[in-house]
Homo-oligomer: A and B are copies of this chain.
Amino acid sequence: MARVVVDVMLKPEILDPQGQAVQRALPRLGFAGIADVRQGKRFELELEGPVDDAALARIREAAETFLANTVIEDFTVRVEEAATSAPSSSVVGDAK
């Protein structure tokens, strides 16, 4: 089963209040040196068939049609290799 990731972010010229809230909270919490934060959405799609050009074209169409609002949002579609699907948070030790 192949995984395709669709990242949806507000266009750079669109105000991002969620990202701003995070950015303003960071110094208060002791994290300095972060100039800007943008927050967006990440969709992980598990495909039943092979990830060929036709499948990617269909996913791009789906992303454009209803995963992203292309008036205010940009999206990227990419295939994620199976090796990178393990979260790196397990390396730093999360609360599993």
When the two chains form their complex, are residues B41 and A45 in contact, meaning their CB atoms are under 8 A apart? no
Known contacts being A37-B43, A94-B64, is A75 close to B49, with CB within 8 Å? no
Q: Which of B43, B47, B55, B74 contacts A90 (CB 8 A)?
A: B74
Copies in the complex: 2
Taken together as a complex, chains A and B put the C-alpha atoms of A55 and B11 apart, in Å, by: 26
Residues of A at under 8 Å CB distance from B? 1, 7-9, 11, 19, 22, 25-26, 29, 31, 33-49, 55, 58-68, 70-71, 74-78, 87-90, 92, 94-96
9 A/B residue pairs, CB under 8 Å, sorted by A: A7-B42, A29-B62, A31-B58, A36-B46, A38-B43, A39-B41, A40-B41, A70-B89, A70-B94
